[in-house]
């Protein structure tokens, strides 16, 4: 019977190089400190490895979320924590938090916020977007005008299909100001192609200052208008946010807080 081969000696000094080759940066950063703790507390090897693996996975998730947040183009200040729900017409905190769970994303459903200018539509949609990115979703936030211009450029370069396929990687696309300006036939055509492509497969979140009855300004062709609205609302949550300007009320609240703070300081000085 052949004797088992003697184990090869382990070169601990080569560990950083091996961890780099294996693309385990968190292992490389933390293994020495954890090894000292494991030696002191008498950990078995399995616990030591599990602790390192947990750190690697947690930091990998954090890096991915940070990368996806940068790619999302979401404005940094428009988060759920920054929303003043008392100043928001037509929506409740419970309803918005339910949307941040993202169940509707699974079925390619849409989210449409309709209301007056300044009613907080963009902030609400971006806050939901931030929460979805934190939950591991891919989100892209853009103005409708910018999206249309990019898709038109792709069509001119005979690369529209490739551009739409690239957008498929995003679970949710937030289109701001869809009714901001009237669009010509070419612009409305690429916008409709985006809506039709994502129908029942990928989600859209849309902010609109005008009710659906005025969407003929977006799609000059009546048949295209009806087809676009039909696809958007078929599986959609609609937030009606008509009321006083959220921006104006929020600014007034901040000003009142400053005045109160100033009055308190003056009283303390006296």
Q: Could you read off the pLDDT of 147-200 as tens digits, one per residue? A: 999 999 999 999 999 999 999 999 999 999 898 766 778 888 999 999 999 999
pLDDT above 50 for 23: yes
Q: How far apart are CA 36 and CA 40, in angstroms?
A: 6
Q: Which residues contact 197 (CB under 8 A, 6 or more apart)?
A: 164, 168
Q: Where are the domains of the chain?
A: 88-249
Q: How far apart are CA 168 and CA 221, in angstroms?
A: 26
pTM of the model: 0.79
Percent helix, strand and coil across the chain, each rounded to 5? 60, 10, 30
Average of pLDDT values for 209-214? 90
Average of pLDDT values for 92-118? 94
Which pLDDT tens digit goes with each residue over 32-59? 899 899 999 999 999 989 999 999 898 9
| Percentage above 70 pLDDT, the chain | 85
Instruction: Specify the CATH number for 88-249; select among 3.40.50.11290, 3.40.50.300, 3.40.640.10, 3.30.365.10.
Output: 3.40.50.300
**Range in 8-12, 192-196, 201-205 with the lowest mean pLDDT:** 8-12
């Amino acid at each position: 019977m052949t004797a088992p081969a003697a184990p090869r000696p382990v070169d601990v000094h080569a560990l950083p190089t091996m961890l780099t080759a294996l693309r385990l940066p968190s292992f490389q950063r933390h293994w020495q400190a954890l090894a000292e703790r494991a030696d002191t507390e008498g950990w078995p090897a399995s616990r030591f490895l599990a602790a390192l693996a947990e750190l690697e996975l947690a930091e990998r998730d954090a890096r991915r979320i940070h990368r996806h947040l940068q790619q999302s183009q979401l404005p940094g200040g428009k988060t759920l924590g920054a929303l003043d729900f008392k100043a928001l017409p037509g929506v409740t905190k419970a309803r918005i938090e339910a949307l941040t769970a993202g169940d509707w994303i699974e079925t390619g459903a849409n989210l449409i916020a309709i209301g007056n200018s300044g009613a907080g539509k963009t902030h609400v949609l971006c806050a939901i977007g931030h929460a979805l990115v934190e939950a591991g979703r891919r989100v892209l936030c853009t103005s409708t005008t910018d999206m249309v211009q990019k898709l038109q450029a792709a069509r001119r370069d005979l690369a529209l299909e490739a551009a739409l396929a690239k957008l498929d990687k995003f679970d949710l696309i937030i289109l701001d100001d869809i009714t901001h300006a009237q669009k010509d036939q070419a612009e409305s055509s690429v916008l409709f192609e985006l809506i039709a492509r994502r129908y029942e497969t990928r989600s859209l979140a849309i902010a609109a200052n005008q009710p659906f009855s005025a969407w003929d300004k977006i799609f000059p062709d009546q048949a295209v208008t009806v087809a676009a609205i039909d696809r958007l609302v078929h599986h959609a949550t609609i937030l009606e946010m008509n009321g006083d300007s959220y921006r104006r009320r929020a600014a007034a609240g901040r000003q009142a807080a400053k005045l109160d703070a100033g009055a308190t300081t003056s009283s303390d000085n006296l």
